[in-house]
A and B are shown apart, each in its own frame.
Chain A
């Protein structure tokens, strides 16, 4: 009698414990939703990737279409080589334009893909040729300051 009540309570405890774990895995974490379907790899070269990190999202028109697999430095021409794992459902034309964007003011950085008009699609393993680097705030500010300084000197003359 007493033993069965203990068994029942332990059973309830273990079951709701595992349910909590399942809730964390599926509802809180990304185990259920963001599994890419039979992914293929694409590559892109950037002059500067800013704060981009591995496993950041790749979005097209705001929809997540892939994740960044790895980021390495190509030691021949000192460009960042970004390897991207793309969802197989989505194919992009050959002249797709890859930019590094930031979501929100302080958000994470991601790669945005803007498809061009080429009739042929990028095949697995292809390299995206048209890329735009991340905006580095310091460069932007220094550019602005130099411009302002030049304007100031030309105004004196």
Chain B
């Protein structure tokens, strides 16, 4: 009996210690990436290549999902608002929900599963095939050469993707609300402009997307660098990237929203 209780506490303790250890490792890794990221700006082509892979190649999925999310918001919003006879507030509903919440969050989730997982798999595979060790042998720091450009490429891409998502969503809402259903175009745009504030709504949305970009890129490069150097380890690291960064986005979103929009 006592043995079982002891082993229970031992399991809890070991789990806690390894979690804290991993968190500390992740934080120190983050610090290393920041310290060693000078070369990713001196040799900007390295970072541009990663912007291409994580940003440009995510464009199609971001634009298409933004359009469809906006169109669904237009349909659902119209259906609900029509019950209260305030269809002309459709533009406000679509734009505020996109700019404040859905743009950064959904773009972040898509970015985590499209680009974050690719970054993890790439770095993990480089580790599994001992490319990172080979670089170290040639006195090329793998964090400066491989990890930092991927991190900054993600951080640069994410806010632009979120802005594109929101813009496409507003256009989708316009398509459904004005072109398809036929609410008044003037009140759609006019009420939207009257109640969307640049600082309070748009700038806060951009801040959110920057924070999500940092979080997703950090998780992605860390999981890749920390993965077991086997095929199974890389696959597990990729899964962990998507799960961890999605949870991080949702948790951070709650914290940021409660800081920004409480008053």
A16 sits at the interface (CB 8 A) = yes
B196 on the A face (CB < 8 A) = yes
Of A12, A29, A55, the most chain B CB neighbours within 10 A belong to: A29
> Smallest distance from the beta carbon of A108 to chain B beta carbons, Å?
8
**By the criterion CB–CB under 8 Å, are A29 and B193 in contact?**
yes
A10 to B52, CA, bound (A): 6
Residues 15-35 of chain A, each 1 if its beta carbon lies under 8 Å from chain B, else 0: 011101101110111110110
**B95 is an interface residue with CB less than 8 A from chain A:** yes
Contact of B49 among A6, A12, A105 (CB under 8 A): A6
Residues from chain A with a CB closer than 8 A to the CB of B164 are 16-17, 20
Number of B interface residues, CB 8 Å?
Answer: 34
Pairwise interchain contact B84-A18, C-beta atoms closer than 8 A: no
User: Knowing A29-B193, A29-B196, A30-B196 touch, does A104 contact B201 (C-beta < 8 A)?
Assistant: no
- A29 and B170 CA atoms in complex are apart in Å by 12
Q: Does A157 contact B (CB under 8 A)?
A: no
Are A13 and B160 interface neighbours, CB within 8 A?
yes
Number of A-B contacts (CB under 8 A): 91
Contact A10 B48 (CB under 8 A): yes
User: Is the CB–CB distance between B194 and A30 below 8 Å?
Assistant: yes
Query: How many Å lie between the Cα of A136 and that of B161 in the bound state?
Result: 45
Asked if A20 and B167 make an inter-chain contact with CB atoms under 8 angstroms apart, the answer reads yes
Asked if A57 is an interface residue, CB under 8 A from chain B, the answer is yes
A13 to B56, Cβ gap below 8 A?
Answer: yes
**Is A146 part of the contact surface with B, judged by Cβ < 8 Å?**
no
**Distance in angstroms between the alpha carbons of A99 and B85 in the assembled complex:** 25
Chain B residues with Cβ under 8 A from A20's Cβ?
A: 160, 163-164, 166-168
Determine whether B197 belongs to the interface, using a CB cutoff of 8 Å to chain A. yes
Residues of A at the B interface (CB closer than 8 Å) are: 3, 6-7, 9-10, 12-14, 16-18, 20-21, 23-25, 27-31, 33-34, 55, 57, 64, 104-108
4 closest A-B pairs by beta carbon, nearest first, are A17-B160, A20-B167, A20-B163, A31-B198
